[in-house]
Structure 1
Amino acid sequence: MTMKSFPKPSDLPVPAGAEGWEEIYPYYLVFQDELKEEEDAKFWFCDSSHWPTVFKPFETIGGEFAVKCLGQYNARHLLIPNANGIEFRVHLGYLYMSPIPVPEDQIAARVPEFEARIGHYFGDWENKLAAWHDKVKGTIADMEQISFDPLPEIVPFEDITNGVGKDGSEILLDNYDRLISLTYQNWQYHFEFLNLGYIAYLDFFNFCKEVFPNIPDLSIATMVQGVDMELFRPDDELKSLALLAVELDLVQHFSRTDDPAATLAAIAAAPGGERWIKQWEEAHEPWFNFTIGNGFYAHDKYWNEHPEIPLGFIADYVSRVQDGAQILRPTQKLIAEKQRIVEEYTELLDDEAAAIFEAKRSLAATAYPYVENHNFYIEHWTMGVFWRKVRELSTMLTEAGVFQDPEDLLYLGRNEVRDVLFDLVTNFGVGAGTPIAAVALPKKIAKRRLIVDALKTARPAPALNTPPEVITEPFTRMLWGITTEQVQSWLGNDEDAEENVLKGMAASPGLVEGHARVVMHADDLSSVQAGEILVAPITAPSWGPIFGKIKATVTDIGGMMSHAAIVCREYDLPAVTGTGSASTTIKTGDLLRVDGTKGTVQILSNMELVSGPGAHSHAHQH
């Protein structure tokens, strides 16, 4: 039976206990009854690659800023001829997106504007990118200066004599507004170069498809790989610290990394420990502004606040070094493979076409590292500072009697928090004592907690409504892997579908067999054993330390330019992305055959059939 459509938003059941969930998000984020016909006519896909868990109300800020700012560069800055931005809604707690096409009759008029604007950047890429770094780091430095101090009991006498005329409450209100606006500022900067990185890659990609009609997508991606990326620096710092620990004979001090204070004290006291501690401390700024999540949730844990995380990764690397493993990324091998493929394809072209090919390839290779590097500066570093400041604010508000628990803040939207601050300064200013929030909000927050927990009991639908005949928006294809073929496969309309075989993107080459380890959340990464195949809704770039242990990666969502695909190619690991349902179909322990060159995952035997201690001996690498 051929399925034509995914469910409509109104067809999806509301999980028990989540009734009225729409009320917890701003009106502009939810589907509207008055627009039902219009919204049902659009195709929406779930971006579970960036937002894999239900939003608490305050957390929608990351989704709103990211998707709005991505869109503005397509539609308003660069005037990409065939792609405007992406509309977005929150449905049942998850983020859904619908790319906005440019009407056919407007495409041609945008071309000269588009070419002039991208030419401005590509003509002076290195200098423009250096200026970008200055802007972004400047914003972060400004964010670091913000503090949320309790209001002063009395206005200091010198404020009276100096004629200040204010009570300090304006500082609290201004700092809150400033934290939000600085975060927004870095999200605007975020896409200035990201969209250009994709454009350069897509231009090269399309040229290759034109001159080599049968070229695999993977070969095109390989021709720009093997570069030194800043996004891998945090992981490289850990490897360097592990190698130094072995060299200085500090190995025995890494047995209890869940107690970081004791671990670091023991290292500091050991011979050579001082040198190790110095390197550890130097790595912190900026490279430990890094989370095992993706920076979009308040619960994401950052290395610089949770030293047990990097210490645990280092301990793991130390034991692998002792076992004789090569922990450094195989950069030389990747570069050699890249050059081989580039030469092979160049030989097929005449001189004129070869010159165009090389010009487009080198531009893509120059712009491509940014596709990953931006992630460190914005999602990790900027958002790490943002969430740390939000925690300072929520702690201050709890101590002032506004909230019962610092987590309560997350169950209010950012504009509702602005009202709470005004409530606090008003009551404080007039000498009335406890803010109204202390009695007006506890019930509302308790109800919202229940709603969020209820929404978490259901997995999101991968898409909504009827997909278009063809999907053209470049980000949708490259980043999320939402291609015409993938969508048909999710609908079960794949002519040559086989039993126990999942199809996805051939994201990183190689063929391996091994046992599955299904990881639904970053907190479960510690369960991953050496030689397993990682299966997840999506992987975060910060899972780098895991990629040295595993044999392959399989994800539910993600295209050729998703983080999972890029990271696996750089770590020389087979990967299949965008399968749609791997994390819910495959069970931990299942024996899999992953073909990253073809984009297939075969379930060879189910967990139930494979038992006994020898089960893992099936795994072998090709």
Structure 2
Amino acid sequence: MSESTAVATATATARNSFPSPYEQAPPAGAEGWKDLYAYNLVFQDDRREVEESKFWFCDSQHWPTVTKPFETIGFEFAVGCLGQYNARQLLIPTANGIEYRIHNGYVFMSPVAVDPEHIEARVPEFMKRAGHYFENWDSLLQNWHGKLRSTIAEIEALDFTALPDAIPLEDVLSGKGTSPATEFLENYDRLISLAYRAWQYHFEFLNLGYVAYLDLFMFCKELFPRIPDQAIATMVQGVDMELFRPDDELKKLAKIAVRDGLTGLFEDTSDAEGTLAAIAAHASGSAWTQAWNDAQDPWFNFTTGNGFYAHDQYWRDVPAIPLGFIKGYIQRLQDGADIDRHVDELVAERDRITSEYAELLDGDALATFHGKLGLARVVYPYVENHNFYIEHWTMGVFWRKARQLSAVLHEAGFWPEANDMFYLRRDEVREVLFDYVNGWMVGAPAIGPSRWPAEIERRRGIIDALSTARPQPALNTPPEVITEPFTLMLWGITDDQIQNWLGKGDTPEGTLKGMAASPGIAEGRARVISSADQLFEVQEGEILVAPVTAPSWGPIFGKIRATVTDIGGMMSHAAIVCREYGMPAVTGTGTASVQITTGQRLRVDGNTGTVQLLDD
């Protein structure tokens, strides 16, 4: 997450450490914010010495905005499962899990080091466990798809409806012996447990994908000490990724609309129902309507966010979003633009770079290089593809069911607005359900409607107040050297970046320094956005500047010249997507979305990781 102007100003003066979480007061109106979260998720006063001894960084790449109490399920499940696969399942020699805390509403993380004395003993165990997956990747991944689709179907089958006035007669006469209240409680428990199961599956392959790439990366650095990081990344680019399929479906629909003379029906895509009805009624609209229906499941289970927030909007639920993107593609096609992503060019560049370095090797070194590269290319697609299946598809169904539950309790008087359940922790929701069920069972009013509306308004005010302040990029004193591989590759938290955040870098005035995430140089006017709601403001030829991007922003990548983000490493979604679109990108700048304003001219150098402000 980009910092506030105050934070950005503070980094201009060199310092040796970041603020302690114990020395940062919450914004006005957010007093008492810790009470909203579970005790283990916040910095406790009696643990100050322990917590201040650790370095924490803000994971605004995945949680860019304040997290409401129910939404902590995202990082509790995701980061917990990441750690489980590192420390307990795969026994990765140099990487355990990552601790996490909420501070002033934002998510902070601290990697857990492996005791150096244990590294050697973990190597053979890791080789047996990871080796089995690498040797049987295709069959195990096929099994993974089956397990995950089954889990999604189980979540989809859950249903939350208001309890009836009386138990159905057929249930009584059949001797069923239980009531709808039983299923109501069971469905909530299953909703949570199925989401947790899906996150277990999420990391079954992901960490191995990172490990294989990191193994290639370290091998290349050993053989070619001066090889650029981007050259290694280029060696695995140009793969067929399912994460791009939703965007490809939009392009196909735009082409059909142009071919069949339907373009005039896309004037007002905000009226999705009217637009779809007009197309269906058109004499030439059947092919487009069929293609639209075919794309819905699964490819329109795609969020404009990242899947971790209850307010994320999904294409399937809000058809005006994909229709708006299709309208944009239609306009570009009519202007004679090429909207296709040319994978053949990426593959050609990939093969050229690979051959140049391979020609420098022979014997065992060449064989090892080809072996490591071959494995990385096999596993690399999962690093992005999983994102569609878990964050987008699974979580889209999860949030849809959670909103259905919240609406039932809203109708029962527990809270003033349909989605107010998300201001409660999931354990509190369980208490509310017992209250609701118990009132129904005994024929008396539940207690919650007299308690929760006022409490939710208090919490809403706190969340709104927390949202007025941006977080620090990090907390406490950083280590002398960042070595944890995932911190480096995924989040881009490098030694140089930390020095920049501390105001100790050697970057010239008027220039921002980040990670050289995708090669190329581009100049243009900045378009600064902070959410998907602003995507339709992006104009042709602009440079996108954002705290972080989402994979579903693909439809605007054909319009922009480059991308700049506040956080992210070489293996972040923004970096990977930009490389696959052949677009310059600088990630991990820390403050770009605050220091740059829309309309400024920028020069983005994705080869060196610099962003030059050409005017004010």
In structure 2, the gaps of 5 or more residues are 1-12
Note the alpha carbon deviations across 1:196-239, whole angstroms, 9 max, x for none.
10000000000000000000000000000001100000000001
Where does residue 212 of structure 2 map in the other structure?
200
Could you tell which deviates more after superposition, 96-105 or 396-405? Answer: 396-405
Q: Which residue of 2 aligns with 1:611?
A: none
- 1:347-405 CA-to-partner distances (Å, cap 9, x unmatched) read 11123211111110111111111000000000000000011001111111112222222
Q: Give the structure 1 partner of residue 462 of structure 2.
A: 451
Question: Equivalent of 1:594, from 583, 593, 604?
Answer: 604
Task: Give 1:162 shift.
Answer: 2.6
- 153-162 or 70-79: which moved more? 153-162
Structure-2 separation of matches of 1:512 and 1:526: 21
Matching residue within 545, 556, 559 for 1:546 = 556
Pick aligned residue for 2:118 from 103, 106, 110: 106
Aligned match of 1:301: 313
Is 2:545 the partner of 1:535? yes
Q: How does 1:311-460 map to 2 (within 5 A)?
A: 311-432=323-444, 434-460=445-471
Cα deviation for residue 546 of structure 1 reads 0.9
List per-residue Cα deviations over 1:305-341 (Å, max 9, x = no partner): 1111001101100110111111010211100000000
Within 5 Å, give how 1:212-361 maps onto structure 2: 212-361=224-373
Q: 1:567 maps to what in 2?
A: 577
1:23 to 5, 20, 35: 35
1:479 to 462, 465, 490: 490
Match of 1:516 among 519, 526, 530: 526
- 1:513-538 C-alpha deviation (Å, 9 max, x unpaired): 10101011111111111100000000
User: 1:39-188, aligned counterparts within 5 Å?
Assistant: 39-188=51-200
Displacement of 1:112 in angstroms is 0.4
| Cα deviation, residue 2, structure 1 | 4.4
| Cα distance between partner residues in 1 of 2:94 and 2:415 | 48
Quote the offset at 1:144 in angstroms: 0.5
Which letter maps to 1:79?
A: L
Deviations 1:63-104 (A, max 9, x none): 111110111000000001011000000000000000001011
Instruction: Output aligned runs, 1:575-590, within 5 Å.
Output: 575-590=585-600
Q: CA separation in 2, counterparts of 1:83 and 1:44?
A: 16
Partner residue, 1:612: none
Mapped contact 2:414–2:453 kept (Cα < 8 A): no
Give the letter aligned to residue 527 of structure 1: E
Residue of structure 2 equivalent to 1:501: 511
Q: Distance in 2 between matches of 1:489 and 1:207?
A: 28
In 2, Cα distance between the equivalents of 1:276 and 1:578? 41
CA distance in 1, matches of 2:452, 2:325: 41
Aligned equivalents of 1:548 and 1:442: distance in 2?
46
Residue in 2 that maps onto 1:610: none
Cα deviation for residue 265 of structure 1 reads 1.6
Task: Check conservation: 2:528, 2:598, Cα contact below 8 A.
Answer: yes
Shift of 1:161: 2.9
Higher relative contact order (CA 8 A, sep 6+): 2
In the alignment, which residue of structure 1 is the partner of 2:472?
A: 461
Structure 1: distance between partners of 2:543 and 2:311: 26
| Root-mean-square deviation (Å) | 0.9
Map 1:609-620 → 2, pairs under 5 A:
none
Count of aligned residue pairs for this structure pair: 604
Q: CA deviation at 1:579?
A: 0.5
Structure 1 SS opposite 2:479:
coil
CA distance in 1, matches of 2:575, 2:586: 8
1:33 to 41, 45, 48: 45
- Residues 111-130 of structure 1: CA distance to partner in whole angstroms, max 9, x if unpaired? 00011111000001100100
With structure 1 as the length reference, what TM-score do the two structures score?
0.96
Verify the 8 A CA contact 2:22 2:48 in the aligned structure 1.
no
Give the unaligned 5+ runs of structure 1: 607-622
Give me the whole-angstrom Cα distance separating, in 2, the residues matched to 1:187 and 1:440. 33
Taking the aligned partners of 2:420 and 2:43, their CA distance within structure 1 comes to 26
Q: Distance in 1 between matches of 2:46 and 2:160?
A: 41
Among all aligned residue pairs of Structure 1 and Structure 2, give the percentage whose two residues are the same amino acid. Answer: 64
Could you tell me which residue of structure 1 aligns to residue 6 of structure 2?
A: none
